[in-house]
Amino acid sequence: MAELPGTDRTLDLSRSNGRFTISTLISTEDSGRGPYVQGDTAVYDTSQGNHLTHNNTFYLRTFGYNTVDVVPTYENYANTKISGECKKARPTLADLHSFLKVRSQQHHVLLSPRLHPAFKPFLWKQPRCLETQQGRCEFFGLCGHVPAALSPEKPEGEPVRFGWVKGVMIRCMLNIWGVILYLRLPWITAQAGIALTWVIILMSVTVTTITGLSISAISTNGKVKSGGTYFLISRSLGPELGGSIGLIFAFANAVAVAMHTVGFAETVRDLLLEYDSTIVDPTNDIRIVGIITVTVLLGVSLAGMEWEAKAQVLFFIVIMISFINYLVGTVIPASQEKQAKGFFSYRGDIFAQNFVPNWRGPDGSFFGLFSIFFPSATGILAGANISGDLKDPAVAIPKGTLMAIFWTTISYLVLSATIGSCVIRDASGNVNDTLTVDSMGCEGIACGLGWNFTECAQSQSCRYGLINHYQAMSMVSGFAPLITAGIFGATLSSALACLVSAPKVFQCLCKDQLYPAIGFFGKGYGKNNEPIRGYVLTYFIAVGFILIAELNAIAPIISNFFLCSYALINFSCFHASITNSPGWRPSFRYYSKWAALFGAVISVVIMFLLTWWAALIAIGIVVFLLGYVLYKKPVVNWGSSVQAGSYNMALNYSVGLNEVDDHIKNYRPQCLVLTGPPNFRPALVDFVGTFTKNVSLMICGNVLVLRLASKGHVKWLTKRKIKAFYTEVLAEDLRAGVQILMQASGLGRMKPNILVLGFKKNWQQWDFLMISFETEEAPNLSWF
C-alpha cells in the first residue's frame, strides 16, 4: 500500500508495523492536532487483531462504518495537481502487488522491484516536489532528491520513440499517397466526372474512416505493444483469427514492397525510354532498378528506425513540394504547347463539361473505376504497425490515423476538382491544330478556345487530354520534374513503410509461437529490438516478386489481404462492444459498434467487387490458417472478446432454461458422480460417460476432508474426451461433503438428478450404486 500524503512528519516505526492510521485524512482544523500525533488518533492494529481504540468518531467521516481496510489515496483517482505537489500516477495492479515495505536509517518509504536498481540503495521521502540542481526523483507519487553524485545516469542506447505526427500521421499519409494519386486520379476524373469521382473518393474514405475509428477504439483499450494489426486483432478476437490475419498481413506487406518498388522502377524505365536509353531491355530494366532500389531501402531500414523516420520526412517534404508545384502550375497562363495538350487554366465551361461522366474503354464503369481507386485510400495501418516504437500508442494511433485520413482526403478532392477545371478530355498535342477561318464541323469545347481537336476526338486517337494522357499532372505543373520527384517519393515512401511494417508484425507473431518453424525470425536486436532476420526475409520475398516485373498480377491479391485486415478490425470492435466484456473500456469514445459492423460487411463486399477470384483466395487462406490454429489449440489466454461472448451465450441459454417446462421427451440423466479425483476412478467416470454420451450433465464431485486440493482434473477429463465438470468441497467428513455437493452442485435447471457412488469390489458384488432423486417420492436405487 502507498503512504498517505501529508506534510513533513516523523513516524514511530515501531508502532507502524502492521498498522495504518486515518489521521492524515482528517484536517488539523477538525482534530486540533497535526498528522501522526499519538493522541486521539484512531489506530487500527491489524497485526494483533485488536479492536479499534479511539475516543472520537472521525473515522465515520471517511468510511461510514468500522473497517480495517486500507484507505485509498485520492490522488490516484483524480486528474488533479496542486501547485508544488507531485502529480501521482495511478499504479497498476501488478505495481500494487509488487510493493515492498522496507526500512532505511532515517526514512520509511515504499519501493517496487520495477524501480531502477541504482535507486534501491537510497531511500527517500519528500512530500513537496521542488526542482533542484542535484536532480529530482519521482515514483508513484513519492518524490525526493538524490545527491548528484549518487543519481543514476541516463541509460545509454535508449530506444527511439515517435510521437503522433512523425510516427503515425506522416507515415500513414505517405503510405496512402501513391502512384494512383499522380497517374490515375486525373484519368478517373475524366472518366467518371468530377461529381462521381468525389463519390468514389468519399465511399473509399468512408470505409477507411470507419476502420480508423475501430483502430482508435481498440488501441485505447489497454496497453498496446508491438505487433500492430496482428496485436490488435489477436488480443481482441483471439489467436485463431489473429494468427491467420497476422501471417497474411505480414506477407501482404512484404509483397507490397515489391509492388511499390516495381511502380518506381516502371517510372524510371519510362524516363529512360523517353530519351531512347535502356539498360538491357524494358522488362529486365524493371528488375535491375527494382532490386537495386529495394537493396537501398533495406540498408535504410537496417540503419535503425531513426534513420528510416528521417527518410520518411524527406519523402514527405518532396511530395508536399510537388503538390505546391502542381497548384502553382494551375494558375500560370497556359503556353501554346500546353494548350495543344488540353490545358487552358481554370475555366467554368471546362469544369461543367468534366463534371459529368464520359465512360470509355473496358474499365469505363463506376465500380470498375472504384476498384482502381480504392487501393489508393488504403495504407491507414502504417502507423499502427509500428505501435511498439511509439511514445504513447493510445494517443498517437487515433490522432495520427484520423488526421492522415482527413488530409489525404482533402488532397484527393482538391486535385480532382482542380485538374477537372483546367484540362479538357481530348487533345491532339499538335500545335498546328488551331481553329482557322475555313475550319468546318468543329465539335467540342476546344472550338470555343481556338483549337480544333475534332478529328482525333471522333476517332479516339488523341494522345493528350485528361482521358488519354496519364502524365496530366506533370503537364499542368509549373516544373514537371518536381512531379516526377513526387512520384518517386510516393512510391519509395510506401515501399519503405511496408518494408518496416512486415517484419514488425511478423516478429510479434513469431514470439507468440502460433505456427511452427517461425520462431527463428522473432529475435530482436539493438535498442529498438529490431527484427533484422525479419527484414532479410522480407527483402528476399520482395526480390522474388520484383523478378516477376508485372505489377497488375500481384496488386489484386494485396488489396484483398488488406481488406481482410480491415474487415477483421471492424468486426473486432463490433464483437468486443456487443459482448459487453468488462475488459472493453476504450478511452476513445467516438465510435459505433453498428458502424464497425457496417465497415466489416462493406470491406468483404469490396473484396469481391475488386477481384472475385482474389477474394476467394484470400478467404481460403484465412480459413486454412484458422483451421490449423483451431487444431493445434495454442496455450494462450489473452482475454479475447470471443471468450466474453462464450460466457454471454452460456449465461443466456442457462437462464433461458428456467422458462422451459420439463417434459418426458426431453429428459436427460444429469449425474453427480462421487469420484474423488477423477483419475483415481477412471472406470466410474467411463461408466457414467457411456450413458451421458457427452450430451448430458456430468459433475465429478470430490470431498476434501482436512486436506489440500489438487489440480489438473479438468485437463484429465478433457484429455480423456469426457464432457464433464469437476467440483470439490471442503468438509469435516464425507457425509457432510456429499450433502453440500447435492445441494450446491448445478445451476438453475442444470442440476443433477442422479447420484452415482462407487464401491470397492470386496464390499459388495455390485460395483456401482445409482440413486435417482428426481421425484419427491423415495429415492430409486439401482445396482449395477
pLDDT of residue 542 exceeding 80 = yes
Indicate the pTM of the whole model. Answer: 0.71
Question: Is beta strand 43-45 parallel, antiparallel or unpaired with respect to 19-21?
Answer: antiparallel
- For residues 377 and 410, what is the distance between their CA atoms, to the nearest angstrom? 12
pLDDT band for position 553 (cuts 50, 70, 90)? low
pLDDT of residue 760 exceeding 80 = no
Average pLDDT over residues 389-416: 90
- For residues 780 and 784, what is the distance between their CA atoms, to the nearest angstrom? 13
Question: Cβ(47)–Cβ(19) under 8 Å?
Answer: yes
The lowest-confidence range among 217-221, 304-308, 331-335, 536-540 is 304-308
pLDDT band for position 385 (cuts 50, 70, 90)? confident
The lowest-confidence range among 124-128, 186-190, 543-547 is 124-128
Residues 6+ apart with CB under 8 A from 749: 654, 657, 658, 660
The per-residue pLDDT for 438 is 57
Between 109 and 372, name the one with better pLDDT.
372
pLDDT band for position 745 (cuts 50, 70, 90)? confident
Q: What is the pLDDT of residues 640-691, one digit of tens each?
A: 778 888 888 888 888 888 888 888 888 888 899 988 888 888 888 888 888 8
Between 539 and 51, name the one with better pLDDT.
539
Average pLDDT over residues 99-128: 40
pLDDT of residue 101 exceeding 60 = no
Q: What residue ranges define each of the domains in the chain, with the CATH number in brackets?
A: 164-432+443-632 (1.20.1740.10), 668-757 (no CATH)
Q: What is the pLDDT of residues 604-639, one digit of tens each?
A: 998 888 888 888 888 888 888 888 888 887 877 777
- Cell numbers given for 545: 516478386
Q: What is the dihedral of CA 717, 722, 725, 728, to 10 degrees?
A: -40
The lowest-confidence range among 54-63, 199-208, 517-526, 546-555 is 54-63
pLDDT band for position 601 (cuts 50, 70, 90)? very high
- For residues 257 and 265, what is the distance between their CA atoms, to the nearest angstrom? 12
The per-residue pLDDT for 74 is 54
pLDDT of residue 327 exceeding 80 = yes
The per-residue pLDDT for 113 is 41
The per-residue pLDDT for 28 is 42
Question: Cβ(254)–Cβ(538) under 8 Å?
Answer: yes
Secondary structure of 163-181 as H, E, C letters: CHHHHHHHHHHHHHCCHHH
How big is the chain, counted in residues?
Answer: 784
Q: What is the pLDDT of residues 69-89, one digit of tens each?
A: 555 555 555 554 444 445 555
Q: What is the mean pLDDT of the chain?
A: 76
CB atoms < 10 A from the CB of 464, how many?
24
For residue 54, the Cα-to-chain-centroid distance in whole angstroms is 54
pLDDT band for position 596 (cuts 50, 70, 90)? very high
Average pLDDT over residues 17-39: 41
The lowest-confidence range among 88-92, 212-216, 469-473 is 88-92
pLDDT of residue 128 exceeding 60 = no
The per-residue pLDDT for 429 is 81
Q: What is the dihedral of CA 402, 406, 409, 410, to 10 degrees?
A: -170
pLDDT of residue 212 exceeding 80 = yes
The per-residue pLDDT for 61 is 46
The per-residue pLDDT for 753 is 87
The per-residue pLDDT for 507 is 87
The per-residue pLDDT for 773 is 53
Whose cell is 495537481? That residue is 81
Amino acid sitting at position 261: T
- For residues 2 and 112, what is the distance between their CA atoms, to the nearest angstrom? 11
Closest among 442, 435, 441, 422 to 353, alpha carbons compared? 422
Q: Please name the residue ranges forming H helices in 657-774.
A: 682-692, 713-719, 734-744
pLDDT of residue 112 exceeding 50 = no
The per-residue pLDDT for 90 is 58
Helix (H) or strand (E) holding 729: strand 725-731
- For residues 33 and 779, what is the distance between their CA atoms, to the nearest angstrom? 71
